[in-house]
Amino acid sequence: MWIQSGTRFLVVSRMALVAVAISFSATAAFAQAPAAASGAGWYTGFGVGQSRLGFKTGDFAIGPAGTSTSFDENDTAFKFFAGYRVLPWLAIEGGYDNLGKSRVSYVNAGGTANLDYRVDAVKVAGVGSFAFGNTGFSAFGKLGFGYARVRENTSGFPAVVGRADVSERDYRATSVIGAGLQYQLPRGLALRAEYEHYNEVGESPLPVGRARAGLWSLSLMYLF
Protein backbone atom coordinates (compact mmCIF):
# COMPACT_ATOMS: atom_id res chain seq x y z
CA MET A 1 0.00 0.00 0.00
CA TRP A 2 2.76 2.42 0.91
CA ILE A 3 4.47 1.70 -2.43
CA GLN A 4 1.36 2.88 -4.30
CA SER A 5 1.13 5.95 -2.04
CA GLY A 6 4.83 6.62 -2.54
CA THR A 7 4.42 6.46 -6.29
CA ARG A 8 1.56 8.97 -6.13
CA PHE A 9 3.65 11.27 -3.94
CA LEU A 10 6.59 11.12 -6.35
CA VAL A 11 4.35 11.83 -9.33
CA VAL A 12 2.74 14.82 -7.62
CA SER A 13 6.12 16.06 -6.36
CA ARG A 14 7.67 15.85 -9.81
CA MET A 15 4.74 17.69 -11.36
CA ALA A 16 5.08 20.47 -8.79
CA LEU A 17 8.85 20.71 -9.29
CA VAL A 18 8.49 20.72 -13.08
CA ALA A 19 6.01 23.59 -12.81
CA VAL A 20 8.40 25.51 -10.60
CA ALA A 21 11.35 24.76 -12.91
CA ILE A 22 9.41 26.03 -15.91
CA SER A 23 8.56 29.17 -14.01
CA PHE A 24 12.20 29.77 -13.08
CA SER A 25 13.26 29.18 -16.67
CA ALA A 26 10.74 31.75 -17.77
CA THR A 27 12.08 34.09 -15.11
CA ALA A 28 15.54 33.90 -16.65
CA ALA A 29 14.18 34.37 -20.15
CA PHE A 30 12.20 37.47 -19.21
CA ALA A 31 14.64 38.90 -16.69
CA GLN A 32 14.87 42.16 -18.66
CA ALA A 33 11.10 42.66 -18.83
CA PRO A 34 9.28 44.50 -16.04
CA ALA A 35 6.88 42.31 -14.09
CA ALA A 36 3.33 43.28 -13.39
CA ALA A 37 3.01 44.64 -9.87
CA SER A 38 -0.71 44.03 -9.90
CA GLY A 39 -3.38 42.33 -11.94
CA ALA A 40 -3.40 38.79 -13.28
CA GLY A 41 -0.18 36.94 -13.93
CA TRP A 42 2.22 34.20 -12.93
CA TYR A 43 4.73 34.28 -10.11
CA THR A 44 7.30 31.91 -8.64
CA GLY A 45 9.61 31.82 -5.66
CA PHE A 46 12.06 30.05 -3.39
CA GLY A 47 12.24 30.30 0.38
CA VAL A 48 14.21 29.14 3.42
CA GLY A 49 13.22 29.11 7.04
CA GLN A 50 12.67 27.00 10.13
CA SER A 51 10.22 24.20 10.70
CA ARG A 52 8.74 23.07 14.00
CA LEU A 53 6.93 19.81 14.60
CA GLY A 54 4.46 19.51 17.43
CA PHE A 55 4.66 15.80 18.21
CA LYS A 56 1.63 14.08 19.73
CA THR A 57 3.64 12.79 22.65
CA GLY A 58 1.25 9.94 23.46
CA ASP A 59 2.06 8.30 20.12
CA PHE A 60 5.75 8.13 21.09
CA ALA A 61 5.38 6.94 24.70
CA ILE A 62 7.19 3.62 24.42
CA GLY A 63 9.86 1.76 26.36
CA PRO A 64 10.04 0.24 29.84
CA ALA A 65 9.54 2.14 33.09
CA GLY A 66 12.30 4.64 33.69
CA THR A 67 12.70 5.57 30.01
CA SER A 68 13.28 9.28 29.44
CA THR A 69 11.88 10.71 26.20
CA SER A 70 13.00 14.00 24.61
CA PHE A 71 11.91 15.78 21.43
CA ASP A 72 14.08 17.83 19.05
CA GLU A 73 11.35 19.51 17.00
CA ASN A 74 13.13 22.23 14.96
CA ASP A 75 15.17 22.13 11.76
CA THR A 76 16.08 24.21 8.71
CA ALA A 77 13.47 24.03 5.94
CA PHE A 78 13.19 25.13 2.32
CA LYS A 79 10.40 25.54 -0.21
CA PHE A 80 9.61 26.10 -3.89
CA PHE A 81 6.32 27.52 -5.11
CA ALA A 82 4.55 28.95 -8.15
CA GLY A 83 1.17 30.54 -8.59
CA TYR A 84 -1.19 32.45 -10.81
CA ARG A 85 -2.95 35.69 -9.81
CA VAL A 86 -6.51 35.27 -11.04
CA LEU A 87 -7.32 38.74 -9.70
CA PRO A 88 -5.09 41.40 -8.10
CA TRP A 89 -6.19 40.10 -4.68
CA LEU A 90 -6.66 36.36 -5.39
CA ALA A 91 -4.18 33.68 -6.51
CA ILE A 92 -3.98 29.91 -6.85
CA GLU A 93 -0.64 28.56 -5.63
CA GLY A 94 1.14 25.21 -5.58
CA GLY A 95 4.47 24.18 -4.16
CA TYR A 96 6.80 21.83 -2.35
CA ASP A 97 7.95 22.15 1.28
CA ASN A 98 10.84 20.22 2.83
CA LEU A 99 10.52 20.51 6.61
CA GLY A 100 13.82 18.84 7.45
CA LYS A 101 14.43 16.29 10.20
CA SER A 102 13.20 16.12 13.78
CA ARG A 103 14.18 13.53 16.37
CA VAL A 104 12.71 11.66 19.32
CA SER A 105 15.31 10.25 21.73
CA TYR A 106 14.85 7.53 24.37
CA VAL A 107 17.30 7.03 27.24
CA ASN A 108 17.32 4.36 29.94
CA ALA A 109 19.71 1.82 31.46
CA GLY A 110 19.92 0.07 28.09
CA GLY A 111 21.44 3.14 26.40
CA THR A 112 20.11 5.68 23.91
CA ALA A 113 17.76 5.10 20.98
CA ASN A 114 16.75 7.62 18.32
CA LEU A 115 13.77 8.00 16.04
CA ASP A 116 14.43 10.33 13.07
CA TYR A 117 11.29 11.90 11.61
CA ARG A 118 11.52 13.62 8.21
CA VAL A 119 8.60 15.47 6.63
CA ASP A 120 8.07 16.91 3.15
CA ALA A 121 4.88 17.78 1.31
CA VAL A 122 3.31 19.09 -1.87
CA LYS A 123 0.41 21.51 -1.57
CA VAL A 124 -2.12 23.65 -3.41
CA ALA A 125 -3.90 26.64 -1.88
CA GLY A 126 -5.94 29.73 -2.53
CA VAL A 127 -4.20 32.97 -1.53
CA GLY A 128 -6.14 36.14 -0.75
CA SER A 129 -4.25 39.42 -0.29
CA PHE A 130 -4.85 43.03 0.76
CA ALA A 131 -2.54 45.86 -0.36
CA PHE A 132 -1.68 48.75 1.98
CA GLY A 133 -2.14 51.55 -0.52
CA ASN A 134 0.98 52.44 -2.52
CA THR A 135 3.44 51.42 0.19
CA GLY A 136 4.48 48.24 -1.59
CA PHE A 137 3.32 46.15 1.38
CA SER A 138 0.46 43.68 1.33
CA ALA A 139 -0.91 41.11 3.76
CA PHE A 140 -2.19 37.72 2.68
CA GLY A 141 -3.87 34.59 3.95
CA LYS A 142 -3.69 31.07 2.57
CA LEU A 143 -6.02 28.06 2.76
CA GLY A 144 -5.59 24.75 0.98
CA PHE A 145 -4.60 21.10 1.06
CA GLY A 146 -1.32 19.23 1.29
CA TYR A 147 -0.13 15.68 0.68
CA ALA A 148 2.56 14.97 3.26
CA ARG A 149 5.18 12.25 3.40
CA VAL A 150 6.78 11.13 6.67
CA ARG A 151 9.98 9.06 6.55
CA GLU A 152 10.87 7.46 9.87
CA ASN A 153 14.07 5.63 10.77
CA THR A 154 15.06 4.29 14.16
CA SER A 155 18.33 3.16 15.74
CA GLY A 156 19.07 1.44 19.04
CA PHE A 157 15.49 0.32 19.61
CA PRO A 158 16.10 -3.37 20.48
CA ALA A 159 18.31 -2.62 23.49
CA VAL A 160 16.47 0.47 24.75
CA VAL A 161 12.74 0.12 24.04
CA GLY A 162 12.48 -3.57 23.23
CA ARG A 163 11.34 -3.14 19.61
CA ALA A 164 13.00 -3.92 16.32
CA ASP A 165 14.47 -0.98 14.41
CA VAL A 166 12.26 0.16 11.55
CA SER A 167 12.40 2.24 8.38
CA GLU A 168 8.87 3.35 7.57
CA ARG A 169 7.02 5.78 5.31
CA ASP A 170 3.57 7.26 5.68
CA TYR A 171 1.50 9.42 3.31
CA ARG A 172 -1.40 11.57 4.38
CA ALA A 173 -3.65 14.31 2.99
CA THR A 174 -3.94 17.25 5.36
CA SER A 175 -5.15 20.84 5.46
CA VAL A 176 -2.77 23.82 5.14
CA ILE A 177 -3.31 27.36 6.41
CA GLY A 178 -0.96 30.32 6.33
CA ALA A 179 -0.56 34.07 6.61
CA GLY A 180 2.15 36.62 5.98
CA LEU A 181 3.42 39.90 4.57
CA GLN A 182 4.78 40.66 1.12
CA TYR A 183 6.85 43.63 -0.08
CA GLN A 184 7.19 44.65 -3.72
CA LEU A 185 10.75 45.31 -4.92
CA PRO A 186 11.91 46.82 -8.25
CA ARG A 187 12.04 44.81 -11.50
CA GLY A 188 9.25 42.42 -10.60
CA LEU A 189 10.88 41.03 -7.47
CA ALA A 190 9.18 40.69 -4.10
CA LEU A 191 9.97 39.49 -0.60
CA ARG A 192 7.53 37.34 1.34
CA ALA A 193 7.60 36.46 5.04
CA GLU A 194 5.02 33.91 6.15
CA TYR A 195 3.95 31.15 8.49
CA GLU A 196 2.26 27.96 7.25
CA HIS A 197 0.69 25.20 9.32
CA TYR A 198 -0.03 21.58 8.36
CA ASN A 199 -2.84 20.26 10.54
CA GLU A 200 -1.50 16.72 10.98
CA VAL A 201 1.02 14.36 9.41
CA GLY A 202 1.88 10.74 10.20
CA GLU A 203 -0.40 8.17 11.80
CA SER A 204 -1.03 6.42 15.11
CA PRO A 205 0.15 4.17 16.66
CA LEU A 206 3.88 3.81 16.04
CA PRO A 207 5.16 3.43 13.50
CA VAL A 208 4.87 6.31 12.36
CA GLY A 209 3.40 8.63 14.99
CA ARG A 210 1.53 11.88 14.46
CA ALA A 211 2.67 15.50 14.50
CA ARG A 212 1.50 18.95 13.53
CA ALA A 213 3.96 20.84 11.34
CA GLY A 214 4.67 24.56 11.11
CA LEU A 215 7.00 26.49 8.81
CA TRP A 216 8.33 30.04 9.18
CA SER A 217 9.97 31.19 5.96
CA LEU A 218 11.40 34.14 4.03
CA SER A 219 11.06 33.89 0.24
CA LEU A 220 12.29 35.75 -2.82
CA MET A 221 9.67 35.95 -5.56
CA TYR A 222 9.48 36.97 -9.19
CA LEU A 223 6.19 38.30 -10.56
CA PHE A 224 5.74 38.00 -14.32
pLDDT tens-digit profile of 194-222?
999 999 999 988 888 999 999 999 999 99
- The pLDDT value recorded for residue 8 is 54
Among candidates 179, 175, 176, 218, which has minimal Cα distance to 195? 179
Q: Which residues of the chain have pLDDT under 70?
A: 1-39
Task: Give the burial class of 66: count Cβ atoms within 10 A of its Cβ; 0-12 exposed, 13-18 middle, 19 or more buried.
Answer: exposed
User: Which pLDDT score is estimated for 40?
Assistant: 83
| pTM above threshold 0.85 | no
**Domain 2-31+43-223 CATH class label:** mainly beta
Q: Work out the number of other CB atoms within 10 angstroms of the CB of residue 64.
A: 12
Q: Is the peptide bond before 64 cis (omega within 30 degrees of 0)?
A: no
Any residues with CB less than 8 A from the CB of 60 and at least 6 apart, and which?
69, 71, 104, 115, 206, 209
Q: How many CB atoms lie within 10 A of CB 84?
A: 15
Tell me what pLDDT residue 49 has.
98
**pLDDT for the residue numbered 130:** 96
Q: What's residue 196's pLDDT?
A: 98
Q: pLDDT digit string (tens) for 50-64?
A: 999 999 999 999 999
Residues 88/80, Cβ–Cβ less than 8 Å: no
State the average pLDDT for the chain: 88
